[in-house]
Amino acid sequence: MSSISLDIVIGAGSAIGRALIEIWSGEGAQRILAVARSADSLAVVEQLGVQTHQCDYSEAALAALAIQLQEQSADISRLVICNGVLQGEGYRPERALNQLKTSAMEQVFEINTFLPMRVLASLAPVLKRSAAPRIAVLSARVGSIGDNGLGGWYSYRGSKAALNMMLRCAALEMRRVNPAAKIMAYHPGTVDTPLSQPFQANVAPEKLFSPARAAKALDTVLASLEADGELSYLDWRGESIPW
């Protein structure tokens, strides 16, 4: 059976993901698969002619997606995982130890760490067989332990640091099972999206990127990646971030 080359955006309802789909759709919309929780988010990108898949990111739903891709003999050429939260219903980024709540920590780790790893775990059989998959997972500079001079944002920082460690494991595994694969933990800069909106007051206008600009930078950095069996932790300029 001949294989179908596919670019997949998980978390396609995110502002950065949507902007990336807009760029990629100019190269051929039919080879893009947009995955998101809500039909409304998918309706927006459907207008660009891309394939869509509604998903609650449960193990069962992701397993079904993986089976569908295997049945199509999909060859994943680019995979970008955008999901992430900084705050949610009833919780905000913690500034002090006495603000830590287990339920909030669990939710942030669930979305920022476990969800992307569930996606990679589910799609691993497809990624193993793909010719040269380029994988970007949206992390954040504040997930850097070395770069953390300010403290605060315990759950967000911790969940992205944990994500980076698990991605490192995945990159080392991929080195064995598909040496042509490449994984990157990515910092998009500060981007004008619902996630950053409540925290933009102290950001200089020239340092606040539009989603379109952020997507262009992500596309450029992703295209520059070489399969070297390592996890790269890069920012929007393509520069390494200390672990």
The footprint of ligand NAP (CB under 6 A) covers 11-17, 36-38, 41, 57, 82-85, 111, 115, 138, 140, 187-188, 190-191, 193-196
Measured from the CB atom, the residue of 75 and 222 that comes closer to ligand NAP is: 222
Measured from the CB atom, the residue of 93 and 188 that comes closer to ligand NAP is: 188
Burial readout 107-123 (b: 16 or more C-beta within 10 A, e: otherwise):
bbbebbbbbbbbbbbbb
Closest CA to 55 of 81, 75, 74: 81
Measured from the CB atom, the residue of 130 and 144 that comes closer to ligand NAP is: 144
Measured from the CB atom, the residue of 66 and 80 that comes closer to ligand NAP is: 80
What is the helix (H) or strand (E) element at residue 188, kind and residue range?
none
Measured from the CB atom, the residue of 28 and 198 that comes closer to ligand NAP is: 198
Q: Tell the smallest beta-carbon distance from residue 224 to ligand NAP (Å).
A: 19
Q: Tell the smallest beta-carbon distance from residue 153 to ligand NAP (Å).
A: 11
Six-digit token string for 163: 């994500």
Supply φ then ψ for residue 92, to 5 degrees. -130, 165
Q: Tell the smallest beta-carbon distance from residue 193 to ligand NAP (Å).
A: 3
Apex CA 165: angle with CA 161 and CA 169, to 5°? 165
DSSP per-residue string spanning 190-243: EE-STTTGGG-TTS-GGGEE-HHHHHHHHHHHHHH----SSEEEEETTS-B---
Q: Tell the smallest beta-carbon distance from residue 86 to ligand NAP (Å).
A: 7
Q: Tell the smallest beta-carbon distance from residue 144 to ligand NAP (Å).
A: 11
